[in-house]
Amino acid sequence: MGRVTTRVPRTRVDVTAGGAPVERPDTVAVEEPLEMRLGDAPLTTTMRTPGDDFDLAIGHLLTEGLLHAADEVATLMHCTDVDASGSPTFNVVEVTLAPGVVPHRPARERTEAMTSACGVCGSASIEAVRTASRYAVADDPLVLPPDVVAGLPGALRARQPVFDRTGGVHAAGLATASGELLHVREDVGRHNAVDKVVGAAAREGALPLAGTVLVVSARASFEIVQKAGVVGIPAVVAVGAPTSLAVELARDRGITLAAFTRPPHFSLYARADRVLGPTGR
């Protein structure tokens, strides 16, 4: 398995100390491509932090709507690709579906490879990114106490060892309504971190991920809310800001969306009743 972090040379400059350079190594997050193959056919390539690649592959297949359950996968394996020096990179994952299983929708048509910044970049059309959910998340009876919402970013932050070492990765967590974090994953791509968490949860049990909360260290973008809805997660809590499309999609699908979550404050943009009650107080 590839390294999660690596050491690189660094020249530190402090202008308050006369600009004298200081040479010192630094620890940075590793970013490498991962090609996912469905059988022998290339599916997509994303830039990611190595580790939890099988969770990432399954999570991606689920949040893209290609599969409906983890048990539709028969095997996952790293292909033994090598770099220029002949060392294995583990940067290709091949997924074999269970007998009789076929993808439930075509793979999203992309015009370019996915970067660590975006999970829907390169989609051929706006409509192509509105992956339909099989689950009525609007009907989920989840109730979230305000103190649980406010406390989720802190709980997530306490389980980010790679961020502690590098400051260069995002995190995603899947939590219960009481604030217990069931799974946490880190990655240079916020969408990859979400897929890794979804994959980890799906490998332990069946979808939908009803009654749970997705908490992310980044902004609440369209793709994050979409991924939550596709696998039946009824609430998203983000440390950063929401985007207009994220708010629109959350309201359309009935997903509770909290953003700017920095204790003791947070802002609600959709389905506030799950937090404040039906009267809004």
Could you give the residue numbers annotated as active site?
A: 118
**Which structure tokens are listed for 120?**
């829907």
How far apart CA 216 and CA 182 sit, in angstroms, is 14
Q: Give strand pairing partners of 214.
A: 174, 236
Cβ count within 10 A of residue 2:
18
DSSP string, 96-132: EEPTT---SSPPPPBSS-BBTTBSSTTBS-TGGG-PP
How far apart CA 63 and CA 93 sit, in angstroms, is 17
Per the CB < 8 A criterion, the answer to whether 76 and 202 are in contact is no
Cβ count within 10 A of residue 25:
9
Per the CB < 8 A criterion, the answer to whether 73 and 96 are in contact is yes
Task: Give the position of tokens 């359950």.
Answer: 69
How far apart CA 27 and CA 68 sit, in angstroms, is 38
Which strand (E) or helix (H) includes residue 247?
helix 244-253
Q: Which residues 6+ apart lie within 8 Å of 164 measured at CB?
A: none
